[in-house]
Structure 1
């Protein structure tokens, strides 16, 4: 199975549920989803995005 990396950093916690782009983002297209308007992310997506952004900016101990 191939993993797709869509972002170099986690999207905004309030980005679109499907693509992560900020609102307003008009009509976007994603393979598998097709064309879609902005939809609010789920609470779980918001939490995961906030945690990923925090982890990326926190220096790692070596």
Structure 2
């Protein structure tokens, strides 16, 4: 999975690819480990003509 982080020191935004259960140290390019994760809306669309299409009818 891809996660986006923002450094609290230099405000740099960067992405890291890691597993959900993988525990690694997140470090900015400036060397700072004080970072916070930026949450965003998942980018996917559900196309459904079966049960989902009959809900609004």
TM-score (norm 2): 0.29
Greater strand proportion: 2
Using the size of structure 1 for normalisation, the TM-score is: 0.28
Q: Which has the higher helix share?
A: 1
